Structure 1
Amino acid sequence: MKRIFALLLFVLAANAASAQQAAVRVNALALATGTLNAGIEVAVAERWSVVASGYWNPIATDNLRMKVLAGTVGVRRWRCEPYAGLFWGLHSTVARYRVGNGRNRYNGWTAGAGSSVGYAWRLARRWSFSLEGGLGIYYMDDTRWPPRPSPVEDVLLRHYRRVVLAPAKMEVSFSYVF
């Protein structure tokens, strides 16, 4: 009950802000890989915004598997004003995946945080276009196995836990500001 009250209080406070703006976002680069995604970005101060995005990829064939479910939450510091110009960001990501190709399959999850930099252009009064890239550090926990073991071998499962430095964000996104 306390969580519902806190969420309701947050929504009411957000709607009461006079300079409040929000944007709905779609990452075109992720869509090109078959990943369905959507996000929302809310300006919370003169040069700050909060962004949350969700990603889902349902592709699974005999030779290629890219089942991914991920969520990202972050904050952006804009140089001049939200939704236009240069920005720096911090974000955290959690994902569950089952990916692979003809040689290896991976089933696991990852969580981590990263930073990014980007630039946004206003295309029209309500539309903007942005490019963003960054690095992050992630903890990964997964199991690997060959998809087609030979008939005389048992399936060899290997469990891995590791910390990796990897590209955290690569976005080419379009936003509708309302």
Structure 2
Amino acid sequence: MKRRKIIRAVFAVAVLLVGMAATGNKAHAQFYSIRGNGLLLLSGTINIGCDIAVSQKTSFDLGLYANPIKMNKLSLMSFGVQPGFRFWRFEPNAGSFWGVHLSGAWYDLGNKSDTRKGFLVGPGFSWGHCWLISKRFTIGVEIGAGILYMQDTKRPRYTDYTQDEYIYHSKRITVAPTKADVSFVYLF
């Protein structure tokens, strides 16, 4: 129930910002962009991101991530969202930028012996750069870190009925990488 409320709030903010951007002055660079992160695709994570110019040097960024991999001895299931703002040095989708973002994710990770299910949420900062390849395409890189609150449950994947099952609940705050992108961007 809490996840639904968080997701609804994120999308409500996104719709509000899109409406504000549509009524304001368009930036010099392209107004909208869609991107796919090549590094995440290598791990099997399906992802899509959009960038909407809000002013001449700022843009709203929204990334969605999902990993559906679940097998007998390996589980990498996750769903995440990363809304944020980017502050561009010159204009959106061209040159260097720094950004702030909020990370939220649900995960089910495990190997043949243990599984860990839970969620994480937290703010982060990033830096990146976009290179224009043509009028409609750019390549962007971004790296970032943040402070994450994580709450999860660790348990054995399989427990024999003659043995006791140990379940470990944990809550922690950690500093971790939150962004590592090599993105291919299409501009509108």
TM-score w.r.t. the length of structure 2 is 0.86
Partner residue, 1:133: 143
Partner residue, 2:112: 102
Cα gap change, 1:119 to 1:11, in 2 (>3 Å): closer
Fraction of identical pairs, as percent: 36
The reply to whether residue 43 of structure 1 matches residue 53 of structure 2 is yes
Measured after TM superposition, the shift of residue 16 of structure 1 is: 3.4
Partner residue, 2:21: 14
Runs of at least 5 residues in structure 1 that lack an aligned partner in the other structure: none
Secondary structure at the aligned position of 1:29 is classed as helix
Measured after TM superposition, the shift of residue 149 of structure 1 is: 3.3
Q: When the two structures are aligned, how many residues end up with a matched partner?
A: 175
Q: d(CA) in 2 for partners of 1:53 and 1:14?
A: 18
Q: d(CA) in 1 for partners of 2:116 and 2:49?
A: 27
Q: Give the counterpart letter for 2:143 in structure 1.
A: G
Q: Give the counterpart letter for 1:90 in structure 2.
A: V
1:148 to 135, 140, 158: 158
Measured after TM superposition, the shift of residue 18 of structure 1 is: 4.0
Secondary structure at the aligned position of 2:83 is classed as strand
Cα deviation digits, residues 121-170 of structure 1 (max 9, x gap): 11110111111111100000000012133554222110000001000101
Q: d(CA) in 2 for partners of 1:51 and 1:62?
A: 36
- After superposition, residues 17-166 of structure 1 pair within 5 angstroms as 17-20=24-27, 21-150=31-160, 152-166=162-176
Partner residue, 1:175: 185
Q: d(CA) in 1 for partners of 2:117 and 2:15?
A: 37
Of stretches 13-22 and 47-56 in structure 1, the one that deviates more from structure 2 is: 13-22
Runs of at least 5 residues in structure 2 that lack an aligned partner in the other structure: 1-8
Q: Give the counterpart letter for 2:84 in structure 1.
A: G
Secondary structure at the aligned position of 2:87 is classed as strand
Partner residue, 2:5: none
Cα gap change, 1:43 to 1:150, in 2 (>3 Å): same
Cα gap change, 1:8 to 1:62, in 2 (>3 Å): closer
Q: Give the counterpart letter for 1:165 in structure 2.
A: V
Q: d(CA) in 2 for partners of 1:53 and 1:115?
A: 15
Of stretches 14-23 and 163-172 in structure 1, the one that deviates more from structure 2 is: 14-23
Q: d(CA) in 2 for partners of 1:113 and 1:171?
A: 17
Cα deviation digits, residues 37-92 of structure 1 (max 9, x gap): 11110011111111011111110011110110111100011111110111101000
Measured after TM superposition, the shift of residue 11 of structure 1 is: 4.6
CA-atom RMSD in angstroms: 2.1
Q: d(CA) in 1 for partners of 2:19 and 2:82?
A: 23
